[in-house]
Structure 1
Amino acid sequence: MIIQKKNINKKILAVLVLILFQSIVLFNFERVSAAALSIIGQPKSVAVELGKTAVFSVKAEGTGLTYEWQARDPKDTKWYTMSSKTSTYSTELSQSNNGRQVRCIVRDAAGNEVTSEIATMKMAAELKITEQPRNVAVGLGKTAVFSVKAEGTGLTYEWQARDPKDTKWYTMSSKTSTYSTELSQSSNGRQVRCIVRDAAGNEVTSEIATMKMAAELKITEQPRNVAVGLGKTAVFSVKAEGTGLTYEWQARDPKDTKWYTMSSKTSTYSTELSQSSNGRQVRCIVRDAAGNEVTSEIATMKMAAELKITEQPRNVAVGLGKTAVFSVKAEGTGLTYEWQARDPKDTKWYTMSSKTSTYSTELSQSNNGRQVRCIVRDAAGNEVTSEVAKMVIINKEEWELPIQ
């Protein structure tokens, strides 16, 4: 009987030890679980339009979680508990709560708590595009880059493209304010646009920009040498073909060992001739939208020689139907010639077709007695007019000298 009682006591003791062990394990498990309380997704700031609903959310790990949302408006000095008891909190934006700060206190079954970061609710800025994508011309195999600028809150970007063969728009992979793509034969003429959205769900679509193959870059008219008077302005120009051309003029004076970039950004470059710049060399680097460049030939600016006539046209007497030839000789730089004539019946001078230093014409009854002169001009725009020469018919009896 005593032995049987001892066995019963041992069994009871074993059961009690087992219960105690399970309690300790359960207690420690709960403690470990409670210690695992953490926030894995913080509330994010929200921008919405006036009268729209802002939604905040929090994500947490733990056991038996409860949520207490608190808010504080700009005018408030303390936090106020909101009605929401879930992991989300929604509220309508008004003028009075614009700028409201929100946070969430998460508690677990063990009584532990953790407070989220603060998120802010504010009025979304007006969504608008401030700079549209621009047309781009690049060489085959080169990269075209499009960009858009916009104002608003929490902006996202969706680029769309449509090739000439396409009937609809396709969304590209870029999620930023720029979109880059390589030009190929199949994508030549591609149209591109960007849909910009804000945090409030508003969206605006940009204008359409086009990507095309750049025309071949080439200079079609080189700068020419210029001679001007001291203190006068020399003008150089270049003509080129291509797409999206830009111009960089460079100059090098006789004393210089390198080229210097001038301020002109157009197809012409003007400068005043001085003693120090006499002999200046000028060239232009032309670039296209694809980044290709070509450099012009070198042109020189120098002081024009003094313009003067050294030999005047002379009177000419020839037989009827014969050719009368007038000539002039002059000194200067870049000379051009304009011959003028006036017949006895004329009241004014008429410009002839000759552009050289000589002028020829057949003598007739109607132009007998014609007066002739030449206006000589130099590269600096100066001009000088020759003396007047006369063309007359020689009498038949004067053709041969008398024999002595």
Structure 2
Amino acid sequence: MEQNRLRNILMTLVLALSMTRAALGQSLITNSGFESGTSSWNFYSNSSAAFAADAAGNSSPRSGHVTINSQGSNVQLFQTEFLLEEDAQYTLTFAAYSNTGRDFSVSVQKHTSPYSMYGLADQTFNLGTSWQTFSVQFTASGFSGTTSDTRLRIWFAPFDVAGDQYFIDDVVLTKAGSNGSAPAIASQPANQSVAPGQSATFSVAANGAAPLSYQWQKNGSNINGATSSSYTTPPATASDNGLAFRCIVGNSAGAATSNNAILTVTATSDPQTPFRGVPFAIPGLIEAEDFDNGGEGIAYHDLEATNQGGAYRTSGVDILGTGDVNGGYKIGYVQAGEWLEYTVNVAQAGTYTITARVAAPGSGGTFHIEMNGADVTGPRVVPNTGSWDSFQDVVMSGIALNAGQQILRLSLNANGTTGWIGDLNFINITSGGGSSNTPPTITTQPSDQSVAPGETATFSVAASGSSPLSYQWQRNGGNISGATSSSYTTPAVSAGDNASTFRVIVSNPFGAVTSNTAVLTVSGGGGASVLANSGFESGTSPWSFYANSSATFDNNLAGPGSSRAARIVITTAGSNIQLFQTDFPLEANTQYTLTFQAYCNTGHDFSVSLHQHTSPYGSMGLMNQVFDLGTSWGTHSVQFTTSGFTGTTTDARFRFWFSSHSTSGDQYFIDDVVLTAGSSGGGTSAPIITSQPSNQTITVGRSATFNVAATGTAPLSYQWQRNGANIGGANSASYTTPPASTSDNGSSFRCVVSNSAGTTTSNTATLIVGGSSSSGMSFQQRTIDSNNPRNPHCKAVGDIDGDGFVDVLAASSSDFTEGIFWYKYPSWTKYNISGGSFSTDMQTGDVDGDGDLDVIIPKGSSLGNAVYWYENPRPS
């Protein structure tokens, strides 16, 4: 719907840019700018999502447009079968944004199974809500010679949610040069002349070693966001006449500055006057089609030169008939960047209500209203009214207006899901009006925080605007689940959290605003971790995974305070299942501290070892250390001194071992794995927990006491936490709760122990609060299992797994052979100890004196005469 002449100019610019890229290094990606529609691109989603090339690009008529209707686990846009050379360096650049600012990741990989990576693996890019240019360099690997079994993949899961819209343009993949030359301007920006209301585009071309960066300047000052090889101005006004534009092009070898190009804004001979001869009276109704006389750039700005509706007036504004109230005409085909002006006369200063009569068959776009250049309403959303001819009112109350004649401008901000903003029938302004429908404004930004390992950090924001205000905190650009209040407190941090960024999106029904970014500094943790990719934010490399059964490893789910964490899924149990990292440096006779966060969906444990990577796999100071995991995120820590070698070695393997503890169906989650070196051969030692707090069960009105024991250089300090938050005054090695109520049931307690050398956090202990201990209480029946075993003639109780809770054992009787089952409290997860038929007597006891309960039971009479002892496999 662009005028043919304008379309030809834009296509000429795109062709010129493409020729420039070819001269610098031909892109391996075809249809990079989506100007040929969706050709060469493929799209897949296992949910409801769509891909089109129907939206305006960064500096061209088209871009790739991905709409997420419902979230899926596999949503990708990709292009295949381009040629890569082994060990060659490549540069990928593109422009992108999303309507919510949510991210995506990019990979270059093998197109066919087994889909191995070719040097760029799940690189996450932090998108904004407006066009930005991104660039990354990588070295092709994972194959020999050359290959065209390739795929460039833009991956939207797991970042996207329903309602997200992604926009992508100028996807260029080039083989980088080897001369390392500084930029040289090959084509200078040219002077531009436009009429008021029109935009001007300045372009530059440069040679030099990739990647090249661009920064446009206006009158010598940087233009925010103008970081591509071309820059398009906003609609010009007379005051822009004579502005100078230039571009600074840089790379790692240097920078070059282009010549200045001058913008000339030509005068118009058509004055701006009211369409009906006199200004609209306020209070009063303004018909949308009765915008001022004066023409393009004076009384209105429209992206097409002709009236697409063909009704009422011969201007470039699109006008159609309508059957809505008052009949007459409406403004249609409304696009982002357009505007209309009306001369009005406000009878007296005061508070007014502005009502816009609008329609859209889907989620509409946004607009705002200005008076004499000042935004008086903030952005407002056109609702889904069901069709283009079903109108609704958007009411804006509490709008303060000055008295006298002035120019009202209707500014069209952003398109909706239909590709348009919405149709407009009229604007009605009435006197009075209650509270203002005001979008949020941040009054106090979050501030940077600095804490020690094991401590928590709190970020806060203050905002004003119409209620209700909602909040969504983000870490490193990804949403934090449940972080939806005006402040956010992190879990206990580790060294791997250092330099993480936090921000918050504040919204209400009238708009949204994103806070500044605050940085978390974690200090005092004993130095940098010797393990790479501790938080799994950079994919799964360099972690390795092995299983001699059916099990998988990925990083597709969020961590306790980040967008990624390791996940190990045990489909079938095996005797060798491990996640490990190798070939990192270790110093002999040196104290190291290991911290990590983890949990298991069933609460099953794992062990951790540090040993020689190659045979004979000798211990290096930490061997089969078992950690008691829960069913929610917990922080774990241990200190040890390296041994078993001399000097320095890189023949090391850090290993998580699942085999001795896992069963089929288990899922383990791990994050922030940090291994840091302390002092060599003694000195100050950080705390080590020697006795963990244990679960407590009490009745209503009673108190519970939790205890912890730790070693380390004195003095040790203690801080107890309830449900992750510090308890005021709870600063000793034990903590006694106030008298409990039923609302305390399920609360978790842990202790952070620290000294001058470091910090460690205990395991979590759970408080169970039962009914009142008074007489006459009412018992309630609870079902443990209604399926197996059949005909259960025998049962026993005892703390089988040593977690402080009493578990239940049951066995099937004669003629039924399901066997013995252990039910773990409180989830009553069922485990089969043995098959067979048993008698009506079963007992528990520590038969072998190793500190845990074993099971003693006779066989059923129909299966012979025997008594069995089942040894508890729980490590002592």
TM range (shorter): under 0.3
- State the structure with more CA Rg: 1
TM-score under structure 1 normalisation?
0.26
TM-score under structure 2 normalisation?
0.13
- Higher relative helix content: 1
